[in-house]
Structure 1
Amino acid sequence: MCTIIFKVETKYSDTELKIRDAAKSLFLKKGYSATTTRDIAQESQINLALLNYYFTSKRRLFEIIMFETLYDFLNKMVEVYNDEETTIREKIELASSKYIDMIIAEPLLPTFILNELKNNPTNFLKMPTAKVIMKSQLISQYNDGVKKGIYKKVDSIHFITNILSLIVFPFICSPIIMKMEKLNKTDFNKMMNQRKKLIPEWIIQMIKK
């Protein structure tokens, strides 16, 4: 059984959806400061008055998009980590696969989220993320394995941080990696898909006695 902790139910009209999608694309590419309401209106092919009618301000629109992006990003983790039917290795493999697919589809996403967490951490703190993850089925399975002598005793935060960093960090450093190895975008994505199987193996080796 999977437990989904964060729940967002937002129904958009066709016009609101068009504005939201255009704004998200621009915020990902240019960031909040460099994106103007005129840019958003032009990208969504509407006038400024209509944009302001639906979302009142650029800040309000950005906050909605940021919250929904964080929700989607974090909920994938919570859903996988609380699955009672899978092993630790399977959970890590599922998390790796879901996140790698998600970021390949939106490669600017990690930088977008990191910048916002740095500049405005209150959006992140509104979600009960830490408590949910640290009390997840994944952590329970790990602690049970420690008691049985299967895994080394390591602070759980290091366990979670290692999983997330092995998935996300290569995307953040992709320009350096691609230049060092002379990879094009297709080659880099192929490398990241290979990590779906490698990351669970590395994590298990880290914690196994």
Structure 2
Amino acid sequence: MKTDFNEKQIQIFQVAETLFAEKGFDGTSIRDIAKEAKINIAMVSYYFGSKERLLEALIVYKTSDLKLQLESLIQESIEPIEKINRLIELYIHRINCNRGIYRIVHFEFGTKQRDSNLQAFAEIKKGNLKSLETIIEEGQKKGIFRKDVIIPLITPTILGTYFHFHINKPFFENLLNLNTEELYNNYIKINLTKHIQQTIKALLIYES
């Protein structure tokens, strides 16, 4: 799937993301999107073909540049554990800035039937996993990282911790006195990210 989109397609993405996040994928129709975007229904079909393909294109639009950032990170002359820390920062920042679309992907599209319809997104996930594998294998070759790491479970550990925190946002806001959106986002950027980094480090590094 292409990753360069025109102005009209990007306008449709913005409307679709808002509606998908508010009403859910099943609760949003092509007619709803066209009406909100003030365009003809036929234009959505012309650009994307179906609601599923629209979602797939939206995901690619929102996530494809992460691949470039990860590839650049791999080439940096820093230690593997620092690369892992940077990767976690990239992941958490990206998810927190795109909560709506990630919530749709990871919670409404967990079934086999729907996941099979998101081939482009699956390819992006495979590419991101490959970048993670490259970093971990570098650390293993240097004798820094454990050999028995189950690499495919690292990403779910990162994302699962973030999503558990966010799903229980009111609870943690009250518990941690995060009474403004700025305090909440800063806590994610600093404290939650550091916690996840420490967790992943504990999984990767040999015990002393």
Which structure 2 residues correspond to residues 134-145 of structure 1 after superposition, within 5 A?
A: 135-136=133-134, 138-145=135-142
Question: Shift in Å at residue 152 of structure 1?
Answer: 4.0
Which structure 2 residues correspond to residues 1-209 of structure 1 after superposition, within 5 A?
A: 8-12=2-6, 14-69=7-62, 71-72=64-65, 75=67, 78-79=70-71, 82-119=74-111, 120-122=114-116, 123=118, 124-127=121-124, 128-129=126-127, 132-133=130-131, 135-136=133-134, 138-145=135-142, 148=143, 150-157=144-151, 158-184=153-179, 185-195=181-191, 196-206=193-203, 207-209=205-207
Asked if structure 1 preserves the Cα contact closer than 8 Å seen for 2:71 and 2:131, the reply is no
Asked if structure 1 preserves the Cα contact closer than 8 Å seen for 2:81 and 2:139, the reply is no
After TM superposition, the score normalised by the length of structure 1 is: 0.73
In structure 2, do the counterparts of structure 1 residues 36 and 23 end up closer, same or farther at CA, with 3 Å as the change threshold?
A: same
Question: Shift in Å at residue 11 of structure 1?
Answer: 3.2
Amino acid at match of 2:104: F
Question: Shift in Å at residue 143 of structure 1?
Answer: 1.4
- Distance across 1 between alignment mates of 2:146 and 2:47: 53
In structure 2, do the counterparts of structure 1 residues 190 and 76 end up closer, same or farther at CA, with 3 Å as the change threshold?
A: farther
- Distance across 1 between alignment mates of 2:17 and 2:23: 10
In structure 2, do the counterparts of structure 1 residues 140 and 39 end up closer, same or farther at CA, with 3 Å as the change threshold?
A: same
User: Can you give the 5+ residue segments of structure 1 that lack an aligned partner in the other structure?
Assistant: 1-6
After TM superposition, the score normalised by the length of structure 2 is: 0.73
Moved segments of 4+, more than 6 Å: none
Tell me whether 63-72 or 21-30 shows the greater mean CA deviation: 63-72
Question: Aligned-residue CA RMSD in angstroms?
Answer: 3.2
Question: Shift in Å at residue 171 of structure 1?
Answer: 2.8
Question: Shift in Å at residue 134 of structure 1?
Answer: 5.9
- Distance across 2 between alignment mates of 1:200 and 1:47: 47
Question: Shift in Å at residue 34 of structure 1?
Answer: 0.8
How many residue pairs are counted as aligned between the two chains? 197
- Distance across 2 between alignment mates of 1:37 and 1:59: 10
User: Can you give the 5+ residue segments of structure 2 that lack an aligned partner in the other structure?
Assistant: none
Asked if structure 1 preserves the Cα contact closer than 8 Å seen for 2:17 and 2:100, the reply is no
In structure 2, do the counterparts of structure 1 residues 34 and 160 end up closer, same or farther at CA, with 3 Å as the change threshold?
A: closer
